[in-house]
Amino acid sequence: MVGTEQLFETALGLSDPWFVRSIRFDVDNKTLTIDVDFKSGSRFALAGENEEHPVHDTQTQRLRHLNFFQHECFLEVRLPRVRLPDGGVRLVKPDWVGHLSGFTLLFEALILSLCREMPFLAVARIVNISWHRVHAICKKYVDDALTQADRSSETRIAVDETSSQKGHDYVTLVANAQKRQVVFVAEGKSSDTIKAYAEDLKMHGGLAENIEEVSIDMSKAFIKGVKENLPNARITFDKFHVVGHASKAVDQTRRVEQKTDPTLKGLRWTILKNPEKLKAEQRSDLEALKTQMVSKRTARAWLYREQLRVILDRKQIHVMRRALQQWCTNVRRSLVEPMKDVAAMILAHLEGIVAWARTRQTNGFLEAINGLFQAAKRRARGYGRFSTMRTVIFLIAGKLDFSRLNPYAYEPT
């Protein structure tokens, strides 16, 4: 019959010379402590050393492991320190000890898995360790995975910013557009963030000269940063940002006009949403508005926005360019003042906008990532420090392969 110690050795995956010496169960504190030791006379190999070395002395460490049912489980491990031929002494860590002091690899893998779905504080409460220890595990794995990342094939990127705090504090995200994977995060949204990206890319085997396509909004800082640091990159202004500016112009027109026309009140979401996603009552309201193109500037602003959508779906650069120029001419002759600002913006950035016809490169997936991060931030009641926000963003959208650091960590899809 298999003894209790042998059963736990099998469950823990221990192999020679490691074995379970004893098991202590504390009913009052609801903890299980497993004493792990090694056989007397064992010799141990070290990375970078050719031979196995004798034990000089030992050091006992207490490691948090996966719970045993509802009870917290700890391994108290007697770790050997071996003497090297040069007289030095080094600690030996078996391959199931975690990367941070005080944990096993399996426990760290559990933390990573939970933190990809939940705020750090919630995870800390579930596993009964401090928020700081949870963050330390995630930050360690994120930093190590990023250090090992090979980005030599990076040629197309998307850049966007997200708010980090209330007010005007921002974080810039850079993503590999082909893999839809965040690869760089920086504080602020100045041109220096693009410079920092180029330097980071070089550190990971890539070259700024290899970046062929960059999708950004019409931020002067991002445009400046790309032109100065990514010399061969063609800028594409994201179609959805252009339409977004037109939608704001529609809403501004409605806000002004409804002061003298009460029938426009309550129509905000009806005119801002995609017509295909409207409910039956909203569609009816929209149809009624469309019949008043002559009398209502809001109706004309909505029509200009929809015309812009159609133009930006064209696939021929020359056709799109001519259509946009004509659209801008029509708008500038109209009385829809907010939309005139959109026309001026389009003319100022025309070539970057028509590049969409060829590249079809968008920041849409980054907008979705931004939404996930903002939702995580709300659930966590805010992430105050940039280092924490950076870690969370990479956990959510970095598609980092932690399995190279921890065989128990799942690989992202």
What digits encode the pLDDT tens for the residues 190-216? 999 999 999 999 999 999 999 999 988
Residues 123 and 160 in one domain: no
**Higher pLDDT residue, 252 or 381?**
252
Kindly indicate the confidence band of residue 1, based on its pLDDT and cuts at 50, 70 and 90: very low
Range in 137-141, 338-342, 389-393 the model is least confident about: 389-393
Q: Answer whether residue 110 shows pLDDT above 70.
A: yes
Residues 51 and 198 in one domain: no
DSSP secondary structure code for residue 97 in this structure: B
| Percentage of the chain modeled with pLDDT above 90 | 61
Q: Answer whether residue 354 shows pLDDT above 80.
A: yes
Taking only the tens place, the pLDDT of each residue in 132-155 is 999 999 999 999 999 999 999 999
Kindly indicate the confidence band of residue 277, based on its pLDDT and cuts at 50, 70 and 90: confident
If you average pLDDT over residues 321-339, what whole number do you get? 95
If you average pLDDT over residues 34-48, what whole number do you get? 92
If you average pLDDT over residues 366-377, what whole number do you get? 73
Residues 6+ apart with CB under 8 A from 160: 172, 173, 216, 217, 363, 366, 367, 370
Residues 127 and 58 in one domain: yes
pLDDT of res. 327: 97
| Element holding 170 (H helix, E strand) | strand 170-176
Residues 78 and 161 in one domain: no
Q: Answer whether residue 382 shows pLDDT above 80.
A: no
Question: For the chain, how far is it from start to end, CA to CA, in angstroms?
Answer: 43
Residues 254 and 267 in one domain: yes
Residues 138 and 153 in one domain: no
If you average pLDDT over residues 32-57, what whole number do you get? 91
> Is 70 within a domain?
yes
> Is 397 within a domain?
no
**Which single residue is written with the structure tokens 């903890």?**
31
Contact yes or no for 271/263 (Cβ under 8 A): no
Mean pLDDT, rounded, of the chain: 90
**Higher pLDDT residue, 62 or 13?**
62
> Is 368 within a domain?
yes
pLDDT of res. 381: 61
Contact yes or no for 196/139 (Cβ under 8 A): no
Residues 186 and 280 in one domain: no
- CATH of residue 366: 3.30.420.10
Q: Answer whether residue 371 shows pLDDT above 80.
A: no
Taking only the tens place, the pLDDT of each residue in 46-69 is 887 778 999 999 999 999 999 998
Tell me which residue of 66, 204, 98, 123 sits closest to 395, measured CA to CA: 123
Residues 139 and 274 in one domain: no
Provide the domain count of the chain: 3
pLDDT of res. 413: 60
Tell me which residue of 117, 112, 119, 151 sits closest to 389, measured CA to CA: 119
What the block records as the tokens of 281 is 């009552």
> Is 388 within a domain?
no
| Strand duo 213-216 + 156-163: pairing | parallel
Residues 319 and 375 in one domain: no
Residues 320 and 372 in one domain: no
- Give the structural domain span for 154: 149-237+362-382
Residues 341 and 200 in one domain: no
Q: Where are the alpha helices (DSSP H) in 230-336?
A: 239-257, 268-272, 280-290, 297-312, 317-332
- How many angstroms separate the CA atoms of 162 and 190, rounded? 13
> Is 399 within a domain?
no
Residues 155 and 176 in one domain: yes
Q: Do you know the residue count of the chain?
A: 413
- How many angstroms separate the CA atoms of 50 and 262, rounded? 85
> Is 191 within a domain?
yes
pLDDT of res. 125: 94
pLDDT of res. 127: 94
> Is 246 within a domain?
yes
What the block records as the tokens of 125 is 């409460």
Highest mean pLDDT among 82-86, 144-148, 275-279: 144-148
Q: Answer whether residue 108 shows pLDDT above 50.
A: yes
> Is 167 within a domain?
yes
If you average pLDDT over residues 228-257, what whole number do you get? 92
Kindly indicate the confidence band of residue 117, based on its pLDDT and cuts at 50, 70 and 90: confident
**Higher pLDDT residue, 217 or 63?**
63
| Percentage of the chain modeled with pLDDT above 70 | 95
Kindly indicate the confidence band of residue 378, based on its pLDDT and cuts at 50, 70 and 90: low
- How many angstroms separate the CA atoms of 166 and 377, rounded? 12
